[in-house]
A and B are shown apart, each in its own frame.
Chain A
Amino acid sequence: MRAVSRLTVILGLFLALAGLLPAGALAQAKPVTITFWDAEPADLVKLRTEILKGFEAKYPNIKVNYLNIPYAEARQKLVTAAATKTLPDTMFFQATWLGEFAAMGELLDLGPYADKWAGAKNLLPQVFSVGKAYKNTLYYLPSEFQIDALYYRTDWFKEAGIKAPPSNWAEFLDAAKKMTNPTKNRYGFSMRGAGGNERYYIMWMLMANGNVFFEKDGSLGLHKHGGMDGLKNYLELCTVHQVCTPNSVNNSFLENTAEFSSGAAGMYIHNQYSVARQVKAFGGTVEAAREKFGTAPIPRGPKGRYIAANFTNGYVMFKQSAHPAETWELVKWMLSPENDSKFSQTTGALPANKSVYEEAWFKNNPFLGVFKQQLDDPTGSFNFPIQMAKWNSLIAGPLKEEFQKGLLKQQSAEATGEAIAKAISDALK
């Protein structure tokens, strides 16, 4: 009995000391290898590698096996890895995958780790509100925010005698009409009708219904309280007023961006990733580009507010990880203000750390302020229901196709709204 008690005391002391040991102790522990995946474009691999080298220098006993996967294959690879129990330790993850992988039981609850992390205080509150989307558990830590805003051609506006970017739907339609001239291959608006189209028509519906996606009882409220009017207004830009480019139904953001910079469209909606592309397209410098384009908040709906879709990418840890402590150190490293800033400056994403927004590169860029303004407005941004296990297949399937039917006039706006509402409601069951 005395031997057991002594052992218990020693074990208890050891565990207490281990909890108090600084991170440096981890650096002196035995060597481990952790696996990290991301699906960034190839031009970001160099930056990622550089950041990982910094991590390995700080933690010489932790080796990181880094795998960059082409974006189009990333989810498929993740699904296969989940099936074969070969998931990495951590991944730079897309928010729309959260519901399905959390439902599969593959994600680790990061709450206990974040609670003990001093750096968490420097993160935006939106990191936690989005990260806890699935059953109020912190399965996900967003590290970058993509907020949508309106891009408009300042030179076209001057030509058309439009003094300021549109602040509401009526002004938006008026500006689009004034800039549309099919004989000159010029259209007022480049709409995104292909994959990802749900982001924009849902924004319009929420602007019309007062930002009600779910009712208090959990049922769908998107199509109620005026939401259908919002959808109709958005669809009619193309089907009635014909201010959209002819390829809109097949447009992804790449086509939107190209139509804008090539002089086919006077406005489009996208997140801040487009800023760098458009600056490059219009002269290569911020000063030259300001003569050609600007950014503005999304035009306000009938209830007097704008709603900007809030899309994120960030970090998860998988339950299959054999080294969660070391993996958590990597996640903290990636989310540190220094590395967060490096990434945001290169990618154009809005960072997760509050302090990064005070840096000169952000404050001095005239195009980025409007995105932060929308992110900060609690009534002006909206998080998609990424906690739904079927959200990813919804947006790739019926939510995309029903809207395309509406755009092609194969069904009315009302029928489109009803079909979309039915698809989401069925997925909630």
Chain B
Amino acid sequence: MRCHLRIPPRLVPYLLLAPALGFIVLFILYPLGLNLYTSFQHRVFTEPTGNRFVGIANYLAVAKDPTFWLVLRQSAVWVVGSLAFQFILGLALALLLNERFPARGLYRSLILSPWAISGVIIAIMWKWMYNPQVGVLNEILVRLGLVGHRLAFLADPSTSLPAVILTNIWRGTPFFAVMLLAALQAVPAALYEAAAMDGAGTWRRFLHVTLPSILPMVFAALLLRTIWIFNDVDLIFVMTDGGPVRASETLATFLYKKASRDLDFGMGSALAMVMFAILMTITAFYYRAFRRSDRIL
């Protein structure tokens, strides 16, 4: 039986895109729009009769809150500190695993293990490792004579955030190792041979062959991890709950507490929109930097 339905050819692309567009509208644009709407409301669950439109009052309250600026600074430390070391160590591991050596396959599998473990389990594990009374880290440091007395890493405001960052570095390095290893393996061997024939040493081959070749993957990995780390709450919640006294609080945990513990959804939505704006800015920066490097290549 013939189908007599005639679809104008110019509409076909839109029809094919419709399911994807529908998904984006339903699961991305609609929640975003609702969040934006709620950010202009006074919406506290324990005050059900107090819901009202308040304009930009929530945003002004955020801007005037010294805690917001504190957690914003700490978020920058959290992201940059975690990302920088994850990338450097991940690249080093990828370069190492790209070389030939016995049981390379086994090491390539093992390297993924931190990434495969649930964030909550990692947090619980490291929290006990850091414990000054019963934790293994202090035991090692004391027995090696590196410290005179046990250190309460997570109980000291000056070390709680760095300690959680260290845990995050341990967790996130495998992601970079795997992504960059895949990129390294796609670099044509002929390029290295040509460079070697032109007299380029190891460092110059790395700088002028390896890095430019893997740059697209570097940008993609950095962008993804920046967004994920910025939004991460699991390690901080379990290890320190943002403490002591907000010393390890980030914007993501602050937002969560505002919405979930204080039940202030208006303020929580305003904070979420601020986070969204920050991440969009970072994403735009990455794309600009990537396009520039693409032109140079």
Contact = CB atoms under 8 A, between A and B. Distances in A.
Interface of A: 75-76, 79, 82-83, 99-100, 103-105, 182, 185, 193-195, 245-251, 255, 258-259, 262, 264-265, 389-390, 392-393, 396-397, 400-401, 404-405, 407-408, 410
A194 B243 contact: yes
A185 B245 contact: no
A251 B130 CA distance: 12
Interface of B: 45-48, 131-134, 149-152, 154-155, 157, 160, 240-241, 243-246, 257, 260-263
5 contacts: A245-B133, A246-B133, A246-B155, A247-B131, A404-B243
Nearest to A396: B261
- Interchain residue pairs A-B with the least CB separation, the first 10: A264-B133, A250-B155, A389-B46, A246-B152, A249-B155, A393-B262, A103-B46, A247-B152, A404-B244, A396-B261
A373 to B, nearest CB: 31
Contact of B48 (A104, A249, A404): A104
Contacts of B45: 79, 82-83, 100, 104
A396 B257 contact: yes
Given A79-B263, A401-B246, A262 B46 contact: no
A251 B132 CA distance: 11
Contacts of B244: 193, 249-250, 404, 407-408
A390 B46 contact: yes
Nearest to A401: B245
A331 B131 CA distance: 42
A76 B260 contact: yes
Contacts of B157: 408
A389 B47 CA distance: 9
Q: B47, B152, B240: which has the most chain A beta carbons within 10 Å?
A: B152
Q: A258, A397, A404: which has the most chain B beta carbons within 10 Å?
A: A404
B240 A404 contact: no
Given A75-B260, A246-B133, A259-B134, 14 more contacts: A76-B260, A79-B263, A99-B46, A104-B45, A104-B48, A193-B155, A246-B151, A247-B131, A247-B152, A249-B152, A250-B243, A262-B134, A397-B257, A408-B157
A99 B48 CA distance: 13
A3 B149 CA distance: 92
A423 to B, nearest CB: 12
A258 B243 CA distance: 20
B245 A404 contact: yes
Q: B241, B262, B263: which has the most chain A beta carbons within 10 Å?
A: B263
Contacts of B246: 401
Nearest to A255: B131
A105 B50 CA distance: 13
Contacts of B149: 182
B263 A185 contact: no
A79 B260 contact: yes
A99 B241 CA distance: 23
A247 B244 CA distance: 11
A296 B150 CA distance: 30
A133 to B, nearest CB: 15
Contacts of B151: 246
A107 to B, nearest CB: 13
Contacts of A251: 155
A297 to B, nearest CB: 26
Contact of A258 (B134, B152, B155, B240): B134
A98 to B, nearest CB: 12
A400 B244 CA distance: 9
A397 B262 contact: yes
Contacts of B241: 194-195
A338 to B, nearest CB: 36
Nearest to A190: B133
A246 B150 contact: yes
A247 B133 contact: yes
A160 to B, nearest CB: 19
B128 to A, nearest CB: 8
A357 B32 CA distance: 55
B155 to A, nearest CB: 4
